[in-house]
Amino acid sequence: MGEGALSLARLAIGKQAVVLEVRGAGDIRKRLLDLGLVPGTIVEPIRRSPAGDPTAFDIRGTVIALRQRDGDTVLVQLISSE
Amino acid sequence: MLLNRLVRGTVGKEDFVPSHIPVDYTACLAGNPNTGKSTVFNALTGLNQHTGNWPGKTVARARGLYRHQGKNVAVVDLPGTYSLLASSPEEEVARDFICFGRPDCTVVIVDATCLERNLNLVLQVLEITAKTVICLNLMDQAERRGFHIDVSKLSDELEVPIVPTVARNGRGLTSLKDRINEIASNAVSCRPKMLRYPTDLEAAIGELESCLSLLSAEGPSKRWAALRLLEGDASAIAAIKQYGMDSNAVQGV
């Protein structure tokens, strides 16, 4: 992983990042891609549920909740805040 | 309460088309969740199909009727989906109807405020059928947010008719009905832009397409069927076997 690359599940609330790669396989991967998580997409965690999982993300203008284990399969690059 | 609604939503289909009225064309409404499909449905048919914002509201499909330029058009409201790759019952219902319900026109309702997200479904529908009209709904909200959408450029790019609408107050619906009639009657036929895949994949698609001569001409495109076969999409292949063609033709591939 390069500098600033991390899994989507580890991204802090309110930090924007760019999707680098959707790992994982099968239906879950297809589902994530269908929801708009393709390389180059900007995502931002909006809030976490009280139990800490799932987390709601802003993905292309729609709020979508992802489980931690699914978020873990998405590799993102933090957009540096200047 | 919510559970009740969810359960009720899954019971059978609601049909508002009186059986004694002859139907000239059937149009179906596809689109992402929350793009106003049911609002467009109600605005077209004058019906009052329940609109609401919860997942699975339209698992079953509702059917209504309107008359435009002397033609009776049946409208089928499909469940909202992000995709037609059928990983949920809603996607299966929507996919099966577009592929095998023999719609004369498929209308993809697109949310003008998040166009990018919606174009995935548009491309998937265009892969299935060229008899498609795009309804760019929620234009008022897009305008309020300062979005300017170059509709004619988008239409040129995709090579399908696009109609901007505000279904809530009826804006654009007459021209939507015009376009539906044109496509349904074959007065206008389109050759929409397709996604091109890598050359080896395109070669495989071409080879498979030529084996699919038994696929019903009224069903999905051979290209779509070939792609599902290549993907090994069990649910799509089962649907093709069930509705689309002679079963030997699939087994033979």
Backbone angles phi, psi at A51, to 5 degrees: -80, -5
Helix (H, G, I), strand (E, B) or coil at B33: coil
Q: Is the ipTM of this complex over 0.90?
A: no
Distance in Å, alpha carbon of A60 to nearest chain B alpha carbon: 6
Distance in Å, alpha carbon of A22 to nearest chain B alpha carbon: 17
> Chain B contacts of A60, Cβ < 8 Å?
114, 116-117
Q: Which residue has the higher pLDDT, B62 or B145?
A: B145
Q: Are B77 and B96 in contact (CB under 8 A)?
A: no
| From A27, A35, A61, residue closest to B82, measured CB to CB | A35
- B159-172 pLDDT, tens per residue? 999 999 999 999 99
- Whole-prediction pTM value? 0.83
Q: Are A66 and A31 in contact (CB under 8 A)?
A: no
| From B85, B113, B114, residue closest to A34, measured CB to CB | B85
pLDDT above 90: percentage of residues in chain A: 65
Q: Are A43 and A57 in contact (CB under 8 A)?
A: yes
Give yes or no for residue B79 having a pLDDT over 70.
Answer: yes
| From B83, B85, B117, residue closest to A60, measured CB to CB | B117
Quick one: pLDDT band at residue B247, thresholds 50, 70, 90? very low
- B150-206 pLDDT, tens per residue? 999 999 999 999 999 999 999 999 999 999 999 999 999 999 988 899 999 999 999
Quick one: pLDDT band at residue B137, thresholds 50, 70, 90? very high
Q: Which residue has the higher pLDDT, B14 or B198?
A: B198
State the pLDDT at residue B51: 61
Give yes or no for residue B250 having a pLDDT over 50.
Answer: no
Closest CA to B82 of A62, A24, A16, A40: A62
Q: A10 — contact with chain B (CB < 8 Å)?
A: no
Residue B91 CA: distances (Å) to CA of B21, B78, B79, B86, B107: 30, 9, 7, 5, 16
Residue B113 CA: distances (Å) to CA of A27, A73, B177: 28, 28, 22
State the pLDDT at residue B21: 84
Q: Are B107 and B80 in contact (CB under 8 A)?
A: no
Q: Highest-confidence range of B5-14, B56-65, B194-203, B205-214, by mean pLDDT?
A: B194-203
State the pLDDT at residue B242: 83
The rounded mean pLDDT for chain B is 86
Q: A60 — contact with chain B (CB < 8 Å)?
A: yes
State the pLDDT at residue A46: 95
State the pLDDT at residue A81: 65
Quick one: pLDDT band at residue B58, thresholds 50, 70, 90? low
Q: Where is average pLDDT lowest: A13-22, A50-59, B44-53, B131-140? A: B44-53
State the pLDDT at residue B48: 72
State the pLDDT at residue B99: 93
> Chain A contacts of B113, Cβ < 8 Å?
61
Find the mean pLDDT for residues A67-82.
88
- A3-36 pLDDT, tens per residue? 678 999 999 999 999 999 999 888 888 889 888 8
Find the mean pLDDT for residues B86-97.
85
Pick the CATH number of A5-78 from 2.40.180.10, 1.10.10.10, 2.30.30.90, 3.30.465.10: 2.30.30.90
Find the mean pLDDT for residues A75-81.
87
Q: Are B95 and B84 in contact (CB under 8 A)?
A: yes
| From A30, A61, A62, residue closest to B85, measured CB to CB | A30
Strand B25-31 and strand A55-59: pairing?
unpaired
Give yes or no for residue B8 having a pLDDT over 50.
Answer: no
Q: How far is CA B142 from the centre of its chain?
A: 22
State the pLDDT at residue B132: 97
**For residue A62, what are its two tokens?**
């729609």
Give yes or no for residue B134 having a pLDDT over 80.
Answer: yes
What is the Cα–Cα distance from B100 to B218, expressed in whole angstroms? 8
